[in-house]
């Protein structure tokens, strides 16, 4: 076919992504978009390192798996970029109205860039790590900044996952504001607050204390301290010195720095009050077992772990400057940290929560339904509608209540 659309075939979409599955924030978003397109019988060509096997049952999907040589993410990213560009060129040559979606700097193609992270908004100049890791970090950071600028400038349409991300794109990468629009990440409608039976089952499954309040941290554990685990553990050390503090901390996540944190805690006075799960695909169960999630992140373009906690009825203390804070309703804003570097402030917030656990849980449960009402399918539908027509309807996952008590969404498209 020579640059024309077949009258018998719908124009396909090409999705270039590191992962298309239900295991992480960006990967979940890509999964939701691909699944929505396939359910609409729209052909999709996926170029990715990882893909959920459930998607392969659709007859209109083509998958091009890109390897990660010797576990090198840097090499894998290069291969993904090259292969994504090749596939996009081939498909758009055959289908004039084909759409191509890339994520950030993973492929410089001039169509839609879905941005879930802006490297110029956060990249630690120095990290406390072995020499090899410091060198890898420096090279990866420089490459990421360069690649994202090239990709952002090439895109005709840029979709941000929060207003924070949109602002960073405009202010730090000089993207034309008229080309940048915000669509928040969706929610799993069935991730409702857990009942007591589910909580007990989850704690047994994860081998967690049955009688103590469970505080949870979920996130990648790197040397750059972006997720704020160092701040949380400093606060935890202070809290464990208090007689009234009886909670147990669960750290879920993997990364190069995980062995160092395990060792540090193992030699601390509070080692019996912390459990490391490492990587887990049981986040739903972990949240069922939890009473509080803490995320003192220094940078987070959105923060799906926090939104998922709120959906499950779990209060979440999070930095006010991250993207997910934008969806916090007014009655939960006391849970936001003004300065994620302030250990004392985090201690104060956690003591505030512990003084009235049921109060905070009840407040969050009130908002859970509203958050879950904006589903992953809703997000994907808005994405496709905007990409194909330029028209976007209300996209905020939190409902603002007017004076009459009814609900109305507020657009954050630009």
Nearest C-alpha neighbor of 75 from the set 23, 139, 149, 135? 139
Residues 6+ apart with CB under 8 A from 192: 311, 312, 313, 368, 372
**Residues 4-51 pLDDT 10s:** 554 446 899 999 999 999 988 899 999 999 999 999 999 999 999 999
What is residue 137's predicted lDDT score, i.e. its pLDDT? 66
pLDDT of residue 9: 63
- Give the start-to-end residue ranges of the domains of the chain: 13-186+379-389, 196-371
Given 3-state DSSP classes, what are the helix, strand and coil percentages for the chain, each rounded to the nearest 5? 45, 15, 40
Low-confidence ranges of the chain (pLDDT < 70): 1-9, 123-127, 129, 137, 390-414
Q: What is the pTM of this model?
A: 0.89
- Residue 140 has a pLDDT of 75
| Calpha distance 214→327 (Å, rounded) | 24
Cα→Cα distances 250→22, 77, 214, 273, 366, Å: 22, 32, 7, 9, 25
Mean pLDDT of all residues belonging to the chain: 89
Q: Please state, in angstroms and rounded to a whole number, the distance separating the CA atoms of residues 107 and 85.
A: 6
pLDDT at 390: 60
Q: Where are the alpha helices (DSSP H) in 302-356?
A: 304-311, 343-354
For residue 165, give Cα distances in angstroms to 202, 239, 395: 34, 33, 15
DSSP state of 187: B
Can you give the pLDDT at residue 161?
Answer: 97
Rounded CA separation 242/220 (Å)? 29
The confidence score (pLDDT) of residue 139 equals 73
* Residue keyed to tokens 């695909």: 281
DSSP 3-state of 62: strand
Which residue in this structure is represented by tokens 């904006």?
A: 374
In terms of Cα–Cα distance, which of 343, 409, 339 is closest to 371? 409
R_g of the chain, CA atoms, integer Å? 22
DSSP H or E segment with residue 47: strand 44-51
Model confidence over 154-193: pLDDT tens digits? 999 999 999 999 999 999 999 999 999 999 999 999 999 9
β-pairing verdict for 274-278 and 248-252: parallel
CATH class in words for 196-371: alpha beta
Name the region of 130 (left: φ>0; alpha: ψ -120 to 50; beta: rest): beta
Provide the terminal-to-terminal Cα distance of the chain, rounded to the nearest Å.
Answer: 37
H/E stretch holding 13: strand 13-20
Task: Sheet containing 248-252: give its strands across.
Answer: 274-278, 248-252, 214-218, 292-295, 316-319, 336-337
What secondary structure does DSSP assign to 268-292, as a single string? STTGGGEEEEES-S-HHHHHHH-SE
Q: What is the pLDDT of residue 5?
A: 53
Q: Which CATH number fits domain 13-186+379-389: 3.40.50.2000, 3.40.50.1000, 3.30.70.890, 3.40.50.1860?
A: 3.40.50.2000
What is the pLDDT, as a whole number, of residue 24? 82
Position 94 scores a pLDDT of 94
Same fold yes or no, 13-186+379-389 and 196-371: yes
């Amino acid at each position: 076919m020579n640059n024309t659309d077949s009258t018998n075939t719908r124009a396909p979409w090409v999705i270039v992504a590191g992962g298309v599955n239900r295991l992480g924030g960006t990967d979940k978003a890509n999964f939701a978009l691909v699944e929505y397109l396939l359910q609409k019988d729209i052909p999709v060509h996926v170029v990715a390192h990882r893909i959920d096997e459930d998607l392969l049952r659709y007859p209109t999907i083509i998958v091009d798996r890109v390897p990660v040589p010797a576990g090198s993410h840097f090499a894998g990213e290069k291969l993904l970029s090259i292969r994504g560009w090749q596939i996009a060129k081939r498909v758009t040559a055959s289908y004039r109205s084909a759409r191509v979606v890339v994520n950030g700097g993973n492929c410089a193609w001039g169509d839609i860039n879905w941005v879930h992270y802006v490297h110029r908004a956060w990249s630690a100049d120095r990290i406390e790590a072995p020499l090899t890791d410091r060198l890898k970090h420096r090279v990866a950071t420089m490459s990421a900044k360069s690649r994202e600028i090239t990709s952002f400038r090439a895109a005709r349409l840029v979709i941000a996952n929060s207003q924070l991300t949109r602002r960073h794109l405009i202010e730090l990468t000089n993207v034309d504001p008229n080309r940048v629009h915000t669509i928040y990440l969706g929610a799993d409608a069935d991730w409702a607050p857990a009942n007591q039976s589910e909580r007990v089952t989850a704690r047994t499954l994860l081998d967690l204390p049955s009688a103590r309040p469970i505080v949870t941290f979920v996130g990648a554990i790197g040397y750059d301290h972006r997720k704020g685990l160092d701040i949380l553990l400093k606060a935890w050390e202070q809290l464990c010195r208090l007689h009234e503090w009886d909670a147990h901390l669960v750290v879920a996540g993997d990364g190069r720095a995980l062995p160092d944190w395990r060792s540090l805690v193992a030699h601390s006075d509070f080692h019996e009050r912390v459990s490391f799960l490492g990587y887990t695909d049981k986040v739903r169960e972990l949240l069922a077992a939890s009473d509080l999630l803490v995320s003192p992140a220094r940078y987070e373009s959105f923060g799906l772990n926090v939104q998922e906690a709120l959906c499950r009825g779990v209060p979440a203390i999070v930095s006010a400057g991250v993207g997910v804070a934008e969806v916090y309703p007014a009655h939960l804003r006391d849970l936001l940290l003004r300065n994620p570097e302030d250990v004392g402030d985090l201690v104060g917030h956690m003591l505030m929560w512990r003084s009235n656990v049921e109060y905070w849980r009840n407040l969050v449960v009130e908002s859970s339904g509203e958050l879950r009402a904006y589903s992953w399918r809703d997000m994907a539908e808005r994405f496709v509608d905007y990409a194909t027509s330029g028209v976007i309807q209300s996209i905020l996952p939190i409902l603002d209540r007017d004076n009459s008590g009814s609900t109305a969404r507020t657009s954050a498209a630009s």
